Structure 1
Amino acid sequence: MSLRNRFLSSVGLTAPCLAVVGLALAGAPQGLAADLSAQQQPMPLPLPPAVPAPQDVPFGSTLSLSVDGTDLARHILSMKETIPLPTRYVEKGGDFVLLYPMWLPGNHSPSGTINQVGDLTVKADGKVIPWLRDTVTVSAFHIDVPQGTKQLEVSYQLLTPVSPKVGRVVMTDTMENIQWSAVSLYPAGYFTRQIMVHPSVVFPQGWSYGTALRSDGTGSGSKVSFQPVSFNTLVDSPIFAGKYFRKFDLTQDDKVSVTLNVMADHPEDLAATEAQIQAHKNLVKQANLLFGSHHYAHYDFLLALTTKLGGIGLEHHQSSENSGPRGYFTHWDKTFGMRDLLAHEFTHSWDGKYRRPDGLWAPDFNTPQRGTGLWVYEGQTQYWGYVLAARAGLMTVPQVKEALAEVAATYDNRQGRQWRPLIDTTNDPVIAQRSPQSWKSWQRSEDYYSEGQLVWLDADTLIRKLSGNTKSLNDFAKAFFGTNNGSIITSTYNFEDVVKTLNAVQPYDWAKFLHDRLYNTSTHAPLDGFTRGGATVVYTEKPSDYIKSYSDLRHVSDFMFSLGLTVSKKGTVSDVLWGSPAWQAGITRDQDLLAVNGESYDPEALQDVITSAKNKDAAPIELLLKDGDRYHTVSVTYHGGLRYPHLDGNTQLLDALLAPLGASNAAGSAAGK
């Protein structure tokens, strides 16, 4: 279909229709009153022809894609793509469709940055060929290819955000993050694993880079040319590049290359000690022991220590894509509140990238995904992230137990669980796309992460109890994720497959166990993982070291379990707990807290006031708030004192499951004793 006819079709008109309309208008009597009873009612506009559906056949030729990443001042990435055309287009021409990736793995939603694409130009044999965006699938571009055209030369830009107010910043004066999904177009009508691409990048002079891609050795100067890969592998292999860069070898005895690639805003932030790097080596060792396999030819951790580049935590099959605080190494004793992150992303190589819920696998990057299985994909990964961080020494066992106490308290106080089951939150990546929420504790967010973590802690401790400490979730991990050692081909699964493997490890009614925790509403979070071993969540007036670290990293003061709010360092209320004293008083997020009992707000002063109000005869706490241009004072009646969660009682079961694995207990049996 020509671009002209496609346009006419998209608006519901054809050339004969236009002629009839013109004659009718020309012959209509002037001034004649309309017969309203005979007026035709509107009818739905016909949809344009569908974009070609993906087929599992080879595209036939290799695309060439070059990215220029040197325009740091304007934050612009410029691309040139050469696309050899299939024989049928060479012989007959026709409508050739290019797609911009929208459904991005790890985002679980149609979050492609198509709004940032600019200056799209298509040429063939030196002549410009017009393109037309599909009016329904707006990520599709139709090109009316002339007969005899052998290849297309496509150029375009990615106008990346120049500040956080516009979006996630991916280019700064010292680093950049190139995500191939954002800088590439691909032919419609093919499984993307069947499209081969030869990529290259021009970096700023003197910069180093890290990626799971491997150089083909043909680049020169600041240009790096990579080995051809499938479009799937390309999108799954982002690049971190920077002026200040270090690489640390984490390779284990199996000789499978693992590298920690770190870039930073400042060179001094790269000063890692041998003990710190050893903890990262331990992570690789403990993951290999846990899963009894690997599913990468090589693995590259990508870590940016920055306050300038936009934050990110994204998994890939053969790499991570993460950011952390500047003091990740240099303030090691204060940054442990986020050091489960690399363990989480590394786990995804097995859980999410290799084994993937069948609804989250798609033939290309524009076919919708379904997130029902995210309670495994993210929930169990969240669990192993904490466990592996402890086993590796990235966090201490007491720190991880403090972190688990905070998770338990957070979700046990989340009243939204009374109306919305956990399984429904797996739709949130599509529903909300991680946009801010007014009442997160009532609306619920992507709770399949951390409440999912509690479900898997529950399952782990139950397996240990039922088996007399001869089996554990370690055995499930090896059986479920450890298959086909060395393979990087995705293996899909469904709910029944999870239940079947659990039953093979330890017979039980796992279908009911999981259904009760996923599909039912409840008053309390699933905390049997603690109580089964004799531990309970209690509250004291002293925050744990984990809460201090996590609050500092988030730049907030935490009063969530007392007044029911958190406050940013600038004094802005960042969250309010549904049903809490702050909620009862009508406080909402994004109000500025200016004064407490008539004195200027500061965190220590509010702590003192909350402590003083423990006397039940004490007056309500007076808070002066600024909401836009309106000032108002609220009275908060609260006498409970400061409250921070901790674990009390017998935590030996937690100590056992957090203990490092050794070569003699790789399956996990001894770890459960």
Structure 2
Amino acid sequence: MKKIFLITVAALLSTAAIAQDKQKPIYYSISFPNAGHHEAEIVMTVPQAPTSLHFRMSRSSAGRYATHEFGKNIYNIKVTTIDGTEIPFTQIEGDLYEVGQHPDNIKISYTLFGNWTDGTYASIDPSHAHLNMPAAFIWVLGQDKRPVKFEFNDLDKYGWKVSTQLKPEGANVYSAPNLQYMMDSPTELANYKLTSWDVINTDGKKQKINVTIHSDDDQATVDNFGKMVQKLVLEEKAVFGELPTYDYGEYTFITDVYPTDSGDGMEHRNSTCIVDPLDKVAGNENNVLDIFAHEYFHSWNVKRIRPKSLEPFNFEHANMSSELWFAEGFTQYYGDLLLTRAGFTPLDDYTRTLAGLVNQVLNTPGAAKYPATQMSRYSVFADNGVSIDPNNNANDFTSYYTYGGAIALALDMRLRGEFNLTLDDYMRQVWLNRGKVMKPYTIPDLQADLAKVTNNPKFAADFFKRYIYGTDKNNYEELLNKAGLVLRKIQPGKAWAGSLATNAGRGRSGQQRAAGAEGLPILSSTIIGTPVYKAGLDAGDIILKADGQTITDPKSFSDVLAAKKPGDKITVDYKNRTGAHETTIALEESPYFEVVTYEKAGKQLSKEQEAFRNNWLQSKVK
């Protein structure tokens, strides 16, 4: 009976899905009569509406892992018949609504407010409408398989064009096959500039790459930048051996650059949304290109090489994944590496990136206490999550971007040194087994792919046990040495007290401190294991004196340390809400590392090290 019941339910669900596919599209009409005040007017027409109808705003967004309250920015909501007769509805949660008795065809209209330009929210003004779909559009529960159409109005009024991965249907109408695709299709309406080129894929088929840029740049700047992106695209293609097959044969970089923007990059299936708070692209090409490198790699890794935990994406709450060390972290590693291979990042600059990865995995409490899987799961709080109360992230979190990037670096070095393979070989294996065939993966799948490419299941099992599920760390000094790179302390022989999160002249919430306020306030948690932490100092304490010297700002505290050496002790007078106190800081040497080339360190580079480095960092484009 149990099996029969399950089969019956599955059949009913399948029938419902087929019925949805045969239904008319849900239709959105978007107008901008009040763009100067950041408003859009949106009407959703639902033909063949379900009898029990609930509609809602999303609480999460494709590419974001934390919860976001998009429902706060819609108002003036009305539900009507096609001829305008109002239909009663009830707001049963902050972002969820229930419609009363209604005919087959209805309309739901509302005002959308948007004034935050990034990859997550919406932004509307006379210069553009920057729309992340979950932040802009309500949707009907249970109708996720139905096709969707959009009509963008007022384009001529503002001189806008449409940049999107949605399929153009003509007359400013665009379509998506279903809700998942719709939500994954950011759209920029603006007088952007466009540069495009064709790339011949490994199978001989031609695909178009588009770069649209809404900025204060001229066309020549956009065209020249497009040539830089073209070089980067080919370098990324070389890692996997081929481009993904893009829907409708196109991939689009949707770019917005302006000083008041909020910096962001957000990957999507056939496009990416890139937002940069710069004056313009001109003069900042390499800064902008850094985001392009990371986000474009995602068109393989995360949009097609897809964690099973994110499939399908749930727009009603935060989406948690244990695999972000791979999805985001390995992408982080490759984004920086490929800029070096393509010739945009000099080796001495890249060594600073490497040092950042190593320090994050060796010198943060989060990485010492928790495995990469746990730090990935913390994304539901950390990935642009919004809260107003302080957290203790300095002691309980290490970004899965850098954690995973450091793991990728170590695996790349070990594959090269122990197997005469590369991380590129591994990524191609994962691509062929998972991404190209759109088969969502689990962590055991990634381990199996490593075992296959190395032909060494024992190595793969040990690597995943120690460095993915566990907190062991690779020997980065030894691994980097293979490429003629030296890992060394950044401030040997100098006194160090640990990081103090201070903001001279301002209180915890950023307000100006009262005139005449004394001392140096500590605004957030000190870090476990540092001298200041061991001395008992933490957020809420105000340092008044150090070694007998009056402390008024970070520089005065640093000046005291400059005259000391590791092993020295200094007395600190401080106060907090319990009164005045005194403590002693036992100074140490900073544990942080830098990475420098053999040449810069005055060491002789061997031919083997030079060959290793060149094979790792030189272009792979043939």
Q: Would you call these one fold, judging by a TM-score over 0.5?
A: yes
Equivalents in 2 of 1:560, 1:129: separation in Å? 71
- Offset, 1:415: 1.6
Equivalents in 1 of 2:162, 2:543: separation in Å? 43
Q: What's the counterpart of residue 379 of structure 1?
A: 329
Aligned match for 1:144, one of 100, 106, 109: 100
Equivalents in 1 of 2:537, 2:256: separation in Å? 36
- Offset, 1:634: 8.3
Which SS does the other structure have where 1:156 is aligned? strand
**1:253–1:610 Cα change, 3 Å:** farther
Equivalents in 1 of 2:226, 2:570: separation in Å? 53
Letter in 1 for 2:298: H
Aligned match for 1:249, one of 162, 172, 196: 196
Equivalents in 2 of 1:606, 1:276: separation in Å? 44
Aligned match for 1:451, one of 381, 384, 403: 403
Equivalents in 2 of 1:637, 1:589: separation in Å? 19
Q: How does 1:523-672 map to 2 (within 5 A)?
A: 529-530=479-480, 535-541=485-491, 563-565=498-500, 576-585=526-535, 588=538, 597-598=549-550, 601=553, 609-614=560-565, 638=587, 640=589, 645-647=594-596, 652=610, 653-663=612-622
Q: Does 1:57 find its partner at 2:18?
A: yes
C-alpha deviations, 1:78-134, integer Å up to 9, x for none? 211111115xx5xxxx32222433342211244351222212211114211111234
**1:67–1:286 Cα change, 3 Å:** same
Q: Does 1:500 find its partner at 2:448?
A: yes
**1:180–1:617 Cα change, 3 Å:** closer
Q: What's the counterpart of residue 241 of structure 2?
A: 292
Q: What's the counterpart of residue 96 of structure 1?
A: 53
Equivalents in 2 of 1:560, 1:339: separation in Å? 38
Q: What's the counterpart of residue 40 of structure 2?
A: 77
Which SS does the other structure have where 1:362 is aligned? coil
Equivalents in 2 of 1:569, 1:202: separation in Å? 48
- Offset, 1:601: 3.6
Letter in 1 for 2:99: I
Aligned match for 1:263, one of 214, 231, 235: 214
- Offset, 1:420: 2.5
Q: How does 1:24-39 map to 2 (within 5 A)?
A: none
Equivalents in 2 of 1:614, 1:427: separation in Å? 40
The answer to whether the Cα contact below 8 Å between 2:150 and 2:174 also exists between their aligned partners in 1 is: yes
Q: Does 1:399 find its partner at 2:349?
A: yes
Equivalents in 2 of 1:581, 1:172: separation in Å? 50
The answer to whether the Cα contact below 8 Å between 1:261 and 1:302 also exists between their aligned partners in 2 is: yes
Equivalents in 2 of 1:438, 1:357: separation in Å? 28
The answer to whether the Cα contact below 8 Å between 2:45 and 2:105 also exists between their aligned partners in 1 is: yes
The answer to whether the Cα contact below 8 Å between 1:371 and 1:427 also exists between their aligned partners in 2 is: yes
Which SS does the other structure have where 2:315 is aligned? coil
Which SS does the other structure have where 2:269 is aligned? coil
Equivalents in 2 of 1:272, 1:593: separation in Å? 50
C-alpha deviations, 1:236-275, integer Å up to 9, x for none? 11123446x33233543454111222223xx259873876
Q: What's the counterpart of residue 133 of structure 1?
A: 91
Q: What's the counterpart of residue 31 of structure 2?
A: 68
Equivalents in 2 of 1:623, 1:171: separation in Å? 51
- Offset, 1:567: 5.5
The answer to whether the Cα contact below 8 Å between 1:258 and 1:298 also exists between their aligned partners in 2 is: yes
Q: What's the counterpart of residue 375 of structure 2?
A: 425
Letter in 1 for 2:48: L
Which SS does the other structure have where 2:158 is aligned? coil
Equivalents in 2 of 1:618, 1:484: separation in Å? 56
Which SS does the other structure have where 1:449 is aligned? helix
Aligned match for 2:107, one of 150, 153, 162: 153
The answer to whether the Cα contact below 8 Å between 2:232 and 2:293 also exists between their aligned partners in 1 is: yes
Q: Does 1:234 find its partner at 2:185?
A: no
Letter in 1 for 2:41: S
- Offset, 1:574: 7.1
The answer to whether the Cα contact below 8 Å between 1:571 and 1:594 also exists between their aligned partners in 2 is: no
Q: How does 1:177-216 map to 2 (within 5 A)?
A: 177-190=130-143, 192-203=144-155, 205-216=158-169
The answer to whether the Cα contact below 8 Å between 2:491 and 2:589 also exists between their aligned partners in 1 is: no
Q: What's the counterpart of residue 116 of structure 1?
A: 73
State the identity as a percent: 18
Q: What's the counterpart of residue 555 of structure 1?
A: none
The answer to whether the Cα contact below 8 Å between 2:495 and 2:590 also exists between their aligned partners in 1 is: no
Which SS does the other structure have where 2:100 is aligned? strand
Equivalents in 1 of 2:524, 2:615: separation in Å? 37
Ranges in structure 1 where 5+ consecutive residues have no aligned partner = 1-51, 219-223, 543-558, 664-673
The answer to whether the Cα contact below 8 Å between 2:117 and 2:262 also exists between their aligned partners in 1 is: no
**1:595–1:561 Cα change, 3 Å:** closer
Which SS does the other structure have where 2:207 is aligned? coil
Ranges in structure 2 where 5+ consecutive residues have no aligned partner = 1-11, 508-522, 599-604
Which SS does the other structure have where 1:279 is aligned? helix
The answer to whether the Cα contact below 8 Å between 1:339 and 1:395 also exists between their aligned partners in 2 is: no
Q: What's the counterpart of residue 43 of structure 1?
A: none
Letter in 1 for 2:267: E
Q: What's the counterpart of residue 518 of structure 2?
A: none
The answer to whether the Cα contact below 8 Å between 2:117 and 2:123 also exists between their aligned partners in 1 is: no
Which SS does the other structure have where 1:356 is aligned? coil
Q: TM-score, normalised by structure 1?
A: 0.73
C-alpha deviations, 1:315-339, integer Å up to 9, x for none? 1111111222415644449x64x74
Q: How does 1:289-368 map to 2 (within 5 A)?
A: 289-295=238-244, 296=246, 297-326=249-278, 329-332=281-284, 336=287, 339-362=289-312, 365-366=315-316
**1:70–1:214 Cα change, 3 Å:** farther
Which SS does the other structure have where 1:294 is aligned? coil
Which SS does the other structure have where 1:492 is aligned? coil
- Offset, 1:182: 1.8
Aligned match for 1:282, one of 217, 231, 241: 231
Which SS does the other structure have where 1:355 is aligned? coil
- Offset, 1:184: 1.8
- Offset, 1:356: 0.6
Number of aligned residue pairs: 565
Equivalents in 2 of 1:340, 1:274: separation in Å? 17
**1:75–1:569 Cα change, 3 Å:** farther
| Bigger Rg, which one | 1
Q: TM-score, normalised by structure 2?
A: 0.78
The answer to whether the Cα contact below 8 Å between 1:293 and 1:483 also exists between their aligned partners in 2 is: no
**1:407–1:69 Cα change, 3 Å:** farther
Aligned match for 1:463, one of 386, 403, 415: 415
Letter in 2 for 1:205: Y
Equivalents in 2 of 1:110, 1:593: separation in Å? 37
- Offset, 1:516: 1.6
Letter in 1 for 2:235: Q
- Offset, 1:590: 8.8
Which SS does the other structure have where 1:499 is aligned? helix
Equivalents in 2 of 1:306, 1:645: separation in Å? 33
C-alpha deviations, 1:582-603, integer Å up to 9, x for none? 4345555698999995476476
- Offset, 1:459: 1.6
C-alpha deviations, 1:557-599, integer Å up to 9, x for none? xx99863245569778677433323434555569899999547
**1:69–1:563 Cα change, 3 Å:** farther
Equivalents in 1 of 2:222, 2:447: separation in Å? 43
**1:602–1:427 Cα change, 3 Å:** closer
